[in-house]
Structure 1
Amino acid sequence: MRREQGKRAVFTRRILLVGAAKAAVMGALGARLYQLQVVEGERFRTLADENRISVRLIPPPRGRLLDRFGEPIAANRLNWRAMLVAERTDDVGATLTTFSEIVPLTEADRARIERELRRRRRFVPVVVRDHLAWEEMARLEVNAPDLPGILTDVGQSRIYPGGEAFAHVIGYVAPPAEADLDGDPMLELPGIRVGRAGLERAHDRALRGRAGTVRLEVNAVGRVIRELAREEGTPGQDVTTSLDAGLQQFAAERIAEESAAAVVLDARNGEVMAMVSSPSFDPSLFDSGVSAAQWREWTTNRRAPLINKAIAGLYAPGSTFKMVVALAALEARVVSPGERIFCAGLTELGDAKFHCWRRGGHGWLDMREAIKQSCDCYFYEAAKRTGIDRIAAMSNRFGLGVEPAIELPGARPGLVPTRAWKRATQGVPWQQGETLVHGIGQGFIQTTPLQLAVMTARMVNGGRAIEPHLTRAIGGQLVRGARPEDWPMVGIPEAHLKLMRDAMGGVVNERGGTAWASRLPPDVGASMGGKTGTTQVRRITMAERERGLRRQQDLPYEWRHHALFVGFAPVENPVYACAVIIEHGGGGSAAAAPVARDIMAETLLRDPARRDSAPAPSLQVAAAERRER
């Protein structure tokens, strides 16, 4: 009996222990359930929704770039694409083979498609071909029953109506690189493009817009079940430029056969009417992808088609610099306007001889005649009296040797040397002979065509320190003032500036001027002033000089001089300033001045700075007739 009672007691204790353990477990489960369902219920409901609902970004259309009259110079077009959903076909290889018989696929295309199929889930679409032509789309639709898994999609791609004529100014778009990722999740979307050069890069954020969102119901493996809601994004803003598309096209065609650059400014406010660099490239190729062969062709071309020579090409200004030397000499009061200096054809300094371009010399000349005839000996003497530091200071006031304010990436400041610069960079003192050389725009000095156009504009607009710019408005809002009084003065007496304008008018419009042969035709109804320039690209030896220099066209291309011209019009009331450089053109009067004449004539006929709407058809017809003549 006692043994039975003992067994019951042990059994009872065990039951109680098991019951207590079960109660503890159930209590813990109950507490946990209470925590999950009551305390944290709201959070888990949100997590469940997030697993069920996928929020995805919708890329907005990129904003357009417009010329000053509203004509698109960078826009968008529909981009038809063929996509492949692997789970909808039993044989991916057979589908791709059939596809390639309708729309050709390269080996590189097949390799890319297979690589993406391995990386993605079978229900995720993979791009087979984009930028399909309408005929290709039609063939795919007709053969749709034979193409299981193939579906068509439409996006947008960038187009450039002006093509190569605008490439260096507008730039191009391309898929974002690692360095472009700035935290904006839109940049990680397939097919998104960002500005990589020119105005596309400068205004990328404004052009990019803001992405929209779409809420999709998905299943456990991420397949889309249905669309729940959609919020459209904000399209990119249109950017209105100061360019005249017609003038830009004309200038590009005028220098198309040369390695050259040309810039036209509104001299009153700094708006860029045209900026071209030749040779150029097709910017649309970067959107669809540049082949290795094309890239090698560009990068090995000695004329550097990818470089915007207007803002990044560095050249000695040659005789186009003589007006700056003259103004520095006048301000220093070491030369007066009427003082006559004798040119015998060379200037001696110690054992060195510095030659004038005209053998035998020009004789006695005052400042106006020296600029008109581009006498080197006169400016050797003017520079020697003035000194390099005063010349450099005057150069900076006219925009040379300083960082340009234009919004284009890659603009270079050039170089205007000083005594301190040479000591710091070369560790040797400045020599007086170097001052003479810089008096005619040679030596260490380097400028860009844009800087020379700015220099000319400041010289003829009454001395206002305009800055070049290409942007007129973003999203319809003006971003720069167009009034001349918005710009500060450079601090040059009007009498000195008037002398420069008068002398430059004589260069073109008076016999004996170096650009007399390039004066504007009578039908333009205005006259142009300017200054020619020729810069050596190698040192001419005394032996060559004594036996007579060969004609430039008889020299190897790389040995020929660079040809420059700066100009303005109308002479009586300047509105436009321009600069032209023809690499290895031979001479400013022979190569650059005729190009500048034609571009300035077109500019005056179109007169974009005085017009708020596109040129009337009658003006366009008149311009075409003049070009044919």
Structure 2
Amino acid sequence: MDRDTDRYRSLTRRTLLLGGLKVGLLSTLVGRLYYLQVVESQRYTMLAEENRISLRLVAPSRGPIVDRFGIPLAINQQNYRVVVVAERTRSVPETLDKIARIVPLTEADRRRVLREVQKKRRYVPVTVRENLTWDQVATIELNTPDLPGVSIEVGELRHYPFADSIAHVMGYVGAVSEAELNGDPVLSLPGFRIGKSGIEKYHEKALRGTAGTSQLEVNAVGRVIRELSRDEGQPGREVQLTIDIGLQQFVQTRLSQEQSAACVVMDVHTGGIYALASHPSYDPNQFPMGISAELWEELLSNPTTPLSNKAVAGQYAPGSTFKMVVALAALESGLISPRHTTFCPGHMDLGDHRFHCWKRGGHGTVDMVGALRHSCDVFFYDVARRIGVDRIAEMSNRFGLGQPLGLDLPHERPGLIPTRDWKLAQLGTSWQPGETLVASIGQGYVLSTPLQLAVMTARMANGGYAVKPHLTKQIKLGPHEQTTWPAIGVKKENLDVILRGMNEVSNSPNGTGFKARITEPGMELAGKTGTAQVRRITMAERAGGVIKNENRPWRERDHALFVAYAPVHAPRYACSVIVEHGGGGSAVAAPIARDVLLECQKRDPGRASVADAPPPFGTGAGRG
């Protein structure tokens, strides 16, 4: 009896122990299930959705660029591309052979496609060719039953309707390099392109826009099942320029008659640039799809540097166009009066050196206006020797020379205006008196860009106000910053002497630019010729006769320059022209400036310039 009781008690304890253990395990399981399904339900729901839904970026549409009248300069065109999905084809090489009968494929195209097929999952589309014609698209669509795994996709491709006419202003877009990745995820999208030069690069952020998103349902291995939702994002903003594309085309065509040249046309009051041309040019439409190595090498090796924007990055000795600044520095110094005269026998001796005038027999006695009219070197040797190089440099800086002007375009060069301190710091030697004479005629160390020469001319023509150049008229929803230009600080009577000299250069029968004058009443221009030597003329050559430009190799010929404003009675447009190795400014550069300023006034791009900026100097704008 006691044995049965003990056995019952032992069994009861075991039952209770096992029962408790089961209850404990069951409670733990229920608790865990409660925790997972109730407490952590949102977290695991989100994880499940993330496994089922793939969130992908959608590239934004790049903003258009238009000229001052709204004419498109850079737009997006539909880009038809043929793609292949490897898992849907029996053989990718065989499929490529069939595609090649419709769309030309190079060996490089084939190798690229096969390489991408090996790298990517077999269900991921691989681009075979882009930028297909409509006929090619239609033919592929017609033959889709015989092309399993092949389909047509539609994207966007940047297009420049005016091609090489405005390439140096627009720049171009290209694929993102590793150095350009900055954390913005849109830059990592396959095929995404950004601005590489020109306005495309300067206004990259505004033009790029904001990426959208696409929610895709995918299976366990990542294959897309369907698109659930789509947000297109924010397209890039429209950028409007001050450029008049009609005038720009005219200028580019006019420059194309020379081997290498540049021209800038700007409003003397607002600073808006109507034309900025550099010749030779290139076709920016060759870059968005990726330029070939052969063409790239051809552009780089071209001695006339078509990729360089000579208008803002070309640095040249300004030659006699610099004499106006020297004359104004002399007048403002108080050491020279407008009535100051110098006798020019054709040279000036300084120490053991002889400095020649361009006219071998000399100009005789000339005053300041006469010196500008005839471009007498000896007169400017004389005044420069009296005032010194530092006064010349200070006046040059006031007129925009020797420093960047802040143009809204990449790669602007500063030029160079030398001083005593500059030479000592850079070359470790003292400034020599003869170097002042050489600088006074825009040679030696003096360098300027065509843009700077246009700004210099504009600041003289507008009455002495520090107008700054700009290309951006407005970014849509964000107008270009407007400003009132400060006065340079030169006396009106002194500036009038310079403008009178420029007028006589072009409109006096014995002026150096008279043959290139504008004869249409009310459209007359005033200007200044310039010729810049690119090699030193030896004493032996002077004694035997200087070799004419046309008899020298092209690289040894002088640069031809001309600066001008028009119309004389009410200045509105400033223009600078340089023809590399073109010879004399009066014979080569001046006729180009004449044609450009005449066309500019006939077109009158300034009729829409009130939106660029308010009147820069109130009721005193313009000169009568």
* Interval containing the TM-score (normalised by the shorter chain): over 0.9
Aligned equivalent of 2:491, options 490, 493, 496: 493
* Aligned-pair CA distance for 1:265: 0.4
Which residue pairs with 1:333 in the alignment? 334
Matched, 1:342 2:343: yes
CA-to-partner distance for each residue in 1:66-125, whole Å, 9 max, x for gaps?
111110111111110111111222222211111111111111111111111112112111
Q: Contact 2:141/2:151 (CA < 8 Å) preserved in 1?
A: no
Distance 2:525 2:201 in 1: 35
Secondary structure in structure 1 of the residue aligned to 2:101 = helix
Matched, 1:469 2:467: no
- Higher mean alpha-carbon deviation, 285-294 vs 206-215, is at 206-215
Matched, 1:390 2:365: no
- Higher mean alpha-carbon deviation, 19-28 vs 575-584, is at 19-28
Which residue pairs with 2:613 in the alignment? none
* Aligned-pair CA distance for 1:407: 0.7
* Aligned-pair CA distance for 1:499: 1.3
Which residue pairs with 1:565 in the alignment? 562
* Aligned-pair CA distance for 1:18: 6.7
* Aligned-pair CA distance for 1:38: 2.1
Matched, 1:242 2:242: yes
**1:519–1:37 Cα change, 3 Å:** same
Q: Contact 1:238/1:475 (CA < 8 Å) preserved in 2?
A: yes
* Aligned-pair CA distance for 1:332: 0.7
Counterpart of 2:184, as a letter, is: D
Which residue pairs with 2:552 in the alignment? 555
Q: Contact 2:272/2:609 (CA < 8 Å) preserved in 1?
A: no
* Aligned-pair CA distance for 1:601: 1.1
Alignment of 1:136-155 (within 5 A): 136-155=136-155
**1:19–1:423 Cα change, 3 Å:** farther
Alignment of 1:235-384 (within 5 A): 235-256=235-256, 257-384=258-385
CA-to-partner distance for each residue in 1:233-259, whole Å, 9 max, x for gaps?
222111110000010001001111421
Secondary structure in structure 2 of the residue aligned to 1:61 = coil
CA-to-partner distance for each residue in 1:347-400, whole Å, 9 max, x for gaps?
111001100000011010000000110000000011111111111110000000
* Aligned-pair CA distance for 1:446: 0.9
Distance 2:75 2:221 in 1: 38
- What is the TM-score with the length of structure 1 in the denominator? 0.93
CA-to-partner distance for each residue in 1:564-620, whole Å, 9 max, x for gaps?
11010001110000100000011111111111111111111111102479xxxxxxx
* Aligned-pair CA distance for 1:500: 1.1
Which residue pairs with 2:508 in the alignment? 510
**1:33–1:386 Cα change, 3 Å:** same
Distance 1:29 1:115 in 2: 52
Q: Contact 1:471/1:480 (CA < 8 Å) preserved in 2?
A: no
CA-to-partner distance for each residue in 1:428-447, whole Å, 9 max, x for gaps?
11111111110100111111
Secondary structure in structure 1 of the residue aligned to 2:284 = coil
CA-to-partner distance for each residue in 1:179-204, whole Å, 9 max, x for gaps?
32232222222222111110011111
Distance 1:104 1:396 in 2: 57
CA-to-partner distance for each residue in 1:210-241, whole Å, 9 max, x for gaps?
22222222221222222222223222111110
- What is the TM-score with the length of structure 2 in the denominator? 0.94
Which residue pairs with 1:455 in the alignment? 456
CA-to-partner distance for each residue in 1:235-289, whole Å, 9 max, x for gaps?
2111110000010001001111421100000011110000000111110111011
Which residue pairs with 1:607 in the alignment? 604
Q: Contact 1:399/1:455 (CA < 8 Å) preserved in 2?
A: yes
**1:124–1:367 Cα change, 3 Å:** same
Secondary structure in structure 2 of the residue aligned to 1:83 = strand
Distance 1:413 1:15 in 2: 97
Alignment of 1:94-105 (within 5 A): 94-105=94-105
Aligned equivalent of 1:580, options 570, 577, 580: 577
Q: Contact 2:522/2:567 (CA < 8 Å) preserved in 1?
A: no
Q: Contact 2:389/2:419 (CA < 8 Å) preserved in 1?
A: yes
Counterpart of 1:236, as a letter, is: G
User: What CA RMSD, in Å, does the superposition of the two structures yield over aligned residues?
Assistant: 2.1
Aligned equivalent of 1:520, options 498, 501, 518: 518
Secondary structure in structure 2 of the residue aligned to 1:74 = strand
Which residue pairs with 2:529 in the alignment? 532
Distance 1:554 1:500 in 2: 35
**1:45–1:581 Cα change, 3 Å:** same
**1:113–1:5 Cα change, 3 Å:** farther
- Higher mean alpha-carbon deviation, 226-235 vs 156-165, is at 226-235
Matched, 1:408 2:409: yes
Which residue pairs with 1:624 in the alignment? none
Alignment of 1:80-99 (within 5 A): 80-99=80-99
Distance 1:12 1:553 in 2: 124
Matched, 1:111 2:108: no
Secondary structure in structure 2 of the residue aligned to 1:354 = strand
**1:294–1:17 Cα change, 3 Å:** farther
Q: Contact 1:58/1:233 (CA < 8 Å) preserved in 2?
A: yes
Distance 2:93 2:575 in 1: 60
Q: Contact 2:83/2:128 (CA < 8 Å) preserved in 1?
A: yes
Secondary structure in structure 1 of the residue aligned to 2:400 = coil
Alignment of 1:210-221 (within 5 A): 210-221=210-221
Distance 2:191 2:519 in 1: 51
Distance 1:348 1:356 in 2: 11
Counterpart of 1:361, as a letter, is: G
Alignment of 1:170-249 (within 5 A): 170-249=170-249
Q: Contact 1:472/1:480 (CA < 8 Å) preserved in 2?
A: no
Which residue pairs with 1:618 in the alignment? none
Q: Contact 2:215/2:227 (CA < 8 Å) preserved in 1?
A: yes
Q: Contact 1:501/1:571 (CA < 8 Å) preserved in 2?
A: no
Distance 1:6 1:513 in 2: 138
Distance 2:19 2:102 in 1: 76
Distance 1:51 1:521 in 2: 78
Distance 1:464 1:418 in 2: 24
* Aligned-pair CA distance for 1:27: 4.5
**1:421–1:19 Cα change, 3 Å:** farther
Which residue pairs with 2:167 in the alignment? 167
Distance 1:185 1:454 in 2: 41
Distance 1:446 1:366 in 2: 27
**1:433–1:33 Cα change, 3 Å:** same
Matched, 1:68 2:68: yes
Counterpart of 1:384, as a letter, is: R
Counterpart of 2:492, as a letter, is: E
* Aligned-pair CA distance for 1:26: 4.5
Counterpart of 1:565, as a letter, is: F
Q: Contact 1:69/1:612 (CA < 8 Å) preserved in 2?
A: no
**1:380–1:2 Cα change, 3 Å:** farther
* Aligned-pair CA distance for 1:497: 1.3
Q: Contact 2:522/2:569 (CA < 8 Å) preserved in 1?
A: no
Counterpart of 1:444, as a letter, is: Y
Distance 1:534 1:25 in 2: 101
Counterpart of 1:231, as a letter, is: D
**1:360–1:5 Cα change, 3 Å:** farther
Matched, 1:429 2:433: no
Aligned equivalent of 1:590, options 587, 590, 597: 587
Secondary structure in structure 1 of the residue aligned to 2:166 = helix
Secondary structure in structure 1 of the residue aligned to 2:563 = strand
Distance 2:480 2:511 in 1: 41
**1:348–1:97 Cα change, 3 Å:** same
Distance 2:7 2:190 in 1: 76
Which residue pairs with 2:614 in the alignment? none
- Higher mean alpha-carbon deviation, 561-570 vs 113-122, is at 113-122
